[in-house]
A and B are shown apart, each in its own frame.
Chain A
Amino acid sequence: MRPKDVVPEMQRTFPDSVLEASDRQGILARVRIEPRAILPICRWLRDVAGFCHCSLVAGIDWVETREVLYHLWSDEMKVYLELFAILPSDDPHIDSVGEVWRGALWHERETWDLVGIRFDHHPDLRRLFMPEGYQYHPLLKSLELHEPEELEVKARHV
């Protein structure tokens, strides 16, 4: 498949799910998709369009909504494709693409840990960076950084 055919083919194959596509400097296109259709679209992209490598799964916190972002790379066409989906902030969840690209599994764990987006049917969705039992999702805008005051540390002074 040639690079300029990818987005038209995608829009033809998934007419309801591919919402908008815009050009971006340096990558093939920035395509917005429906969250429900992420798995069929990703399977199609890997098997038909040849995007063999999932480079990144990221989350961005726009306070009322959250955006989940996928970067895919194709070895034949040598381009990146950017997919994104907008999820509501009350219950942000989307299907995991771990069965399509196993490399996305840890990125999804990191996105759950830091931005709070749940990935359904993920085999092992637990926190990656923060310790188990940490209640917050640090990269949300509701958590502000500040100069730490003198901390009350429950440690023994030897």
Chain B
Amino acid sequence: MSEMWINMGPQHPMTHGLWNLRVKIDGEVIVDADPEMGFLHRGIEKICEYRLYNEVVTLMDRCCYVAGMSWEHLYMMAAEQALGVEVPERAEYLRVMSAELQRLGSHLMWFAAFVQDLGLMTPFLYGMRDRDLVLDLFQAYTGARMTYEYMRVGGVRNDVPVGFTDRARRVMDWLDQKIGEYEDLCDKSDIFVARTQNIGVLSASDCVNLGVTGPMLRAAGLPRDLRRDRPYSVYPELDFLIPTHEGADVYGRYRVRMEEMRQSIRIVRQTLDYLDRHPGRVLAERVPRFVGAPAPVPGKETYVLRRGYPKGRGFAAIEEPHGEATAYVVNEGAENPYRVKFRSPVMVNISAAKSYLVGYRVSDIPAIMGSVDICVGESDR
């Protein structure tokens, strides 16, 4: 009779964001779990219906704040399909470079927060330091560290400055040698290994039925990665591997993400080679005029309806650092999208909490939830 529900959150050092994990515990063992979301629900999908297509980009950065470029890329692909706009190739390479740099930034942030929850303080500082190097690169060509607003319908806002590719190559070389050091730091710690192996196991068939995607699925052995299975943008021309692990546990997810960082470095180097060799446009020449047009003047709104822009729907799916994210844009011929719907991988990964928490102890919760890589901004939208 010692079962009780306890709240872990919304203010909890483990949560990294505003969500509440309600667990039912019997002594120290977890018997049931019921995550509670919605504390950061900002109504992004509703606000998007009141913004122009290019203005939605500001909300995309803030939707998932650790993976802003990935979500901008996702929304832009869906909007361009809905509007019928082609993107020049240099812009595609810039987008992929941004997305892979963002994957590095997101995984480094995850690494810093994850090991801090397990008690390792030094890799937290290393992770934040290296993430600052990647954010310096972002600042060099977009001007901002986190909320870039870099992509536009039809391409990107501006090209990279002179000397950027050399600087980026130096950062990639530095990160390449450092990731091995961080893996060493964690693997050689007995406490880390004991706290992460065979903890939070979610088998591949469970993952698939529960809709779990991303590193959690690849750590269970299933090599599904949308960059390889349903290639978008310029990924068919790039050379990279998809890391998987057989353990389906917290340790496996950690190994998958560290290896993904190495593959991201590989992709970024290939995009930098392309950018050096092929100059070109970064924004499409023919973009529908209303995409960036000013808002209609009250009293003169009818001019929007008279133009009769073509309607359409756009769908895009990317492999975001947290998993599979999709966007669905419904364009009804107006200046604003009629409906924008995003599928957040983090929301689905958290919804499966009961399956990977039951049977473990309360002290395992920071390790397990840390391995899920939670970003509440995209989960709650």
B224 interface neighbour in A75, A80, A105, A143, Cβ under 8 Å = A75
Q: Once the chains bind, are A129 and B380 in contact (CB under 8 Å)?
A: yes
CB distance from B87 to the nearest CB of A (A): 14
Q: For chain B, residues 318 to 375, give those with C-beta under 8 angstroms from any C-beta of chain A.
A: 324, 326, 328, 330, 338-339, 341, 343, 347-348, 351-352
In the bound complex, residues from chain A placing their C-beta under 8 Å from that of B343 are 55-56, 71, 107
CB distance from B76 to the nearest CB of A (A): 14
In the bound complex, residues from chain B placing their C-beta under 8 Å from that of A104 are 211
CB of B209 closer than 8 Å to a CB of A: yes
For the complex, give the distance between the alpha carbons of A28 and B43 in Å. Answer: 30
CB of B96 closer than 8 Å to a CB of A: no
Q: Once the chains bind, are A129 and B38 in contact (CB under 8 Å)?
A: yes
For the complex, give the distance between the alpha carbons of A82 and B316 in Å. Answer: 13
Q: Once the chains bind, are B209 and A145 in contact (CB under 8 Å)?
A: no
CB of A121 closer than 8 Å to a CB of B: no
Q: Once the chains bind, are A128 and B328 in contact (CB under 8 Å)?
A: no
Interface size range on B against A:
35 or more
Q: Once the chains bind, are B208 and A52 in contact (CB under 8 Å)?
A: yes
Q: For chain B, residues 153 to 212, give those with C-beta under 8 angstroms from any C-beta of chain A.
A: 208-212
CB distance from A30 to the nearest CB of B (A): 8
In the bound complex, residues from chain A placing their C-beta under 8 Å from that of B315 are 24, 26-27, 71, 80, 82
CB of B107 closer than 8 Å to a CB of A: no
Closest to B328 in A: A58
Q: Once the chains bind, are A130 and B38 in contact (CB under 8 Å)?
A: yes
For the complex, give the distance between the alpha carbons of A69 and B340 in Å. Answer: 13
For the complex, give the distance between the alpha carbons of A118 and B316 in Å. Answer: 27
Summarize A's interface: helix, strand, loop or mixed: mixed
Closest to B213 in A: A53
Q: Once the chains bind, are A101 and B209 in contact (CB under 8 Å)?
A: yes
Encode contact with A along B221-247: 1 for CB under 8 Å, 0 otherwise.
Answer: 010100001100000000000000000
CB of B313 closer than 8 Å to a CB of A: yes
Q: Once the chains bind, are B211 and A130 in contact (CB under 8 Å)?
A: no
Q: What number of residue pairs across chains A and B have CB atoms under 8 A from each other? A: 88
CB of A25 closer than 8 Å to a CB of B: yes
The stretch that binds A, out of B5-13, B45-53, B289-297, is: B45-53
Q: Once the chains bind, are A103 and B46 in contact (CB under 8 Å)?
A: no
Q: Once the chains bind, are B46 and A139 in contact (CB under 8 Å)?
A: yes
CB distance from B286 to the nearest CB of A (A): 18
Q: For chain A, residues 82 to 110, give those with C-beta under 8 angstroms from any C-beta of chain B.
A: 82, 101-107, 110
Summarize B's interface: helix, strand, loop or mixed: mixed
For the complex, give the distance between the alpha carbons of A56 and B317 in Å. Answer: 11
Q: Once the chains bind, are B351 and A139 in contact (CB under 8 Å)?
A: no
For the complex, give the distance between the alpha carbons of A34 and B229 in Å. Answer: 31
In the bound complex, residues from chain A placing their C-beta under 8 Å from that of B324 are 55
Known A128-B38, A129-B38: A54·B211 in contact at CB below 8 Å: yes
Q: Once the chains bind, are A103 and B50 in contact (CB under 8 Å)?
A: no
In the bound complex, residues from chain B placing their C-beta under 8 Å from that of A148 are none
CB distance from A112 to the nearest CB of B (A): 13
In the bound complex, residues from chain B placing their C-beta under 8 Å from that of A128 are 37-38
CB of B20 closer than 8 Å to a CB of A: no
Encode contact with B along A57-76: 1 for CB under 8 Å, 0 otherwise.
Answer: 01011000000010100010
Q: How many residues belonging to A are interface residues under a CB distance threshold of 8 Å?
A: 37
Known A69-B328, A139-B45: A52·B313 in contact at CB below 8 Å: no
Q: For chain A, residues 108 to 155, give those with C-beta under 8 angstroms from any C-beta of chain B.
A: 110, 114, 127-131, 138-139, 143, 145
Known A26-B81, A145-B47: A60·B330 in contact at CB below 8 Å: yes
B222, B324, B351 pick with most chain A CB within 10 angstroms: B351
A58, A82, A138 pick with most chain B CB within 10 angstroms: A58
In the bound complex, residues from chain A placing their C-beta under 8 Å from that of B317 are 55, 80
CB distance from B92 to the nearest CB of A (A): 16
In the bound complex, residues from chain A placing their C-beta under 8 Å from that of B45 are 114, 139
CB of B41 closer than 8 Å to a CB of A: yes
Q: Once the chains bind, are A75 and B208 in contact (CB under 8 Å)?
A: yes
CB of A36 closer than 8 Å to a CB of B: no
Q: Once the chains bind, are A52 and B209 in contact (CB under 8 Å)?
A: yes
Q: Once the chains bind, are B38 and A131 in contact (CB under 8 Å)?
A: yes
In the bound complex, residues from chain A placing their C-beta under 8 Å from that of B341 are 56, 58, 60, 69
Known A52-B209, A60-B330, A128-B38: A105·B351 in contact at CB below 8 Å: yes
A-B CB contact pairs (8 Å), 27 listed: A24-B313, A55-B324, A60-B330, A60-B338, A60-B339, A61-B339, A71-B326, A71-B328, A75-B224, A75-B229, A78-B229, A78-B230, A79-B230, A103-B209, A103-B212, A103-B351, A103-B352, A106-B351, A129-B37, A129-B38, A129-B41, A131-B38, A138-B43, A139-B45, A139-B339, A145-B46, A145-B47
Q: Which 7 A-B pairs have the closest CB atoms?
A: A103-B211, A129-B38, A129-B41, A106-B351, A58-B341, A56-B343, A78-B229
Seen from chain A, the residues whose Cβ lies within 8 Å of a Cβ on chain B are 24-27, 52-56, 58, 60-61, 69, 71, 75, 78-80, 82, 101-107, 110, 114, 127-131, 138-139, 143, 145
